[in-house]
């Protein structure tokens, strides 16, 4: 599992989601009957990571084991695993287009139907709070209510998925949507889909999920 986490963390870099040591990634892992998660360590280059560098954090207490300290943002990872049993992986990145929109402190409206892939008719922007704090975790979880992604004001993006692959796919999709919204906004005011149009998209995604989960997972890009 440590190797899968490292491979996915390195894939974040390859996908352009991260530079330097910003961002972090985790996946749920029950150990000896205790709910917990593996997470990238603080301040380490992903390219140099080995399985021994990956700490495990207990969901209940926040205590960790391993020789490296967990990412400074372990709190919102912990709080997400505690609050949402369906979440199996959490990704946080300072990707350029998501950060640019997060610095405007505004929700991303339904300018494109793929916004619905994240669970609703917008991607919310959580209130600003100091990195690594409980206040930031609280703001993040509020912005993620009924959603699988949010922006964090003046900071970056946060995405959760059922596993590492889905979290990475959603992170790439969100960064792409942020870029498209940014580009469209340069040319004018994007036409937004209305509530009825978005409800139809959400229902169609839900229908795909029931009939064949694979269709929902890959996101119907037609
Ligand atoms: Zn951050």
Q: Is the pLDDT of residue 216 over 70?
A: no
**71-84: pLDDT as tens digits:** 999 999 999 999 99
Instruction: Decide: pTM greater than 0.95.
Output: no
Expressed in angstroms and rounded, the spacing between residue 152 Cα and the centre of ligand 1 is 9
Distance 40 CA to ligand 1 centre (A): 13
Tokens of 113: 């139907």
pLDDT in tens, 178-194: 999 999 999 999 999 99
The mean pLDDT of 166-180, rounded to a whole number, is 96
Active-site residue set: 73
> Domain residues of the chain, as ranges?
2-208
Across residues 15-43, what is the average pLDDT? 91
Whether residue 89 is predicted with pLDDT greater than 80 in this model: the reply is yes
Paired residues of 26 in beta bridges: 39, 90
Going by pLDDT thresholds of 50, 70 and 90, the confidence category of residue 207 is confident
pLDDT at residue 19 in the model: 76
% of the chain beyond a pLDDT of 70: 93
Domain 2-208 is classified in which CATH homologous superfamily?
Class II aldolase/adducin N-terminal domain (3.40.225.10)
Between the CA of 154 and the centroid of ligand 1 the distance, in Å, is 10
Tally of residues, the chain:
222
Per-residue pLDDT tens digits for 121-169? 999 999 999 999 999 999 999 999 999 999 999 999 999 999 999 999 9
Kindly list the distances between the CA atom of residue 218 and the CA atoms of 90, 165, 186, 215, in Å, as whole numbers in the listed order: 18, 11, 29, 5
Ligand 1 centroid to Cα of residue 221, in Å, is 29
According to the 3-state scheme, what is the secondary structure of the chain? CHHHHHHHHHHHHHCCCCCCCCCEEEEECCECCECEEEECECCCCHHHCCHHHCCEEECCCCCEECCCCECCCHHHHHHHHHHCCCCCEEEEECCHHHHHHHCCCCCECCCCHHHHHHCCCCECEECCCCCCCHHHHHHHHHHCCCCCEEEECCCEEEEEECCHHHHHHHHHHHHHHHHHHHHHHHHCCCCCCCHHHHHHHHHHHHHHHHHCHHHHHHCCCC
- In the beta sheet, which residues pair with residue 65? 56
Q: State in Å: Cα 99 to ligand 1 middle.
A: 10
Asked whether the beta carbons of 64 and 31 are under 8 A apart, the reply is no
Strand order in the sheet with 56-58: 64-65, 56-58, 36-39, 24-28, 89-93, 156-161, 149-152, 125-126
CA of 176 from ligand 1 middle (Å) equals 19
């Amino acid at each position: 599992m440590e190797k899968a986490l490292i491979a996915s963390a390195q894939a974040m870099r390859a996908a352009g989601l991260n530079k330097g040591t910003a961002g972090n990634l985790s996946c749920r892992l029950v150990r000896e009957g205790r709910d917990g998660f593996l997470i990238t360590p603080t301040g380490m280059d992903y390219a140099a990571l080995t399985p021994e560098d990956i700490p495990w954090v207990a969901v209940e207490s926040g205590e960790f084991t391993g020789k490296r300290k967990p990412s400074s943002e372990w709190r919102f990872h912990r709080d997400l695993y505690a609050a949402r049993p369906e979440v199996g992986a959490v990704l946080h990145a300072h990707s350029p287009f998501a950060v640019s929109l997060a610095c405007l402190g505004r929700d991303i409206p339904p300018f494109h139907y793929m916004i619905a892939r994240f669970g609703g008719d917008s991607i919310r922007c959580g209130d600003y709070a100091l990195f690594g704090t409980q206040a930031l975790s609280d703001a993040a979880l509020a912005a993620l209510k009924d959603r699988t992604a949010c922006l964090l004001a003046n900071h970056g993006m946060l995405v959760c998925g059922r596993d590492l692959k889905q979290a990475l796919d959603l992170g790439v999709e969100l960064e792409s949507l942020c870029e498209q919204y940014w580009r469209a906004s340069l040319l004018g005011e994007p036409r937004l889909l209305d509530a009825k149009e978005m409800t139809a998209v959400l229902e169609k995604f839900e229908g795909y999920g029931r009939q064949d989960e694979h269709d929902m997972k890959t996101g119907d890009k037609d």
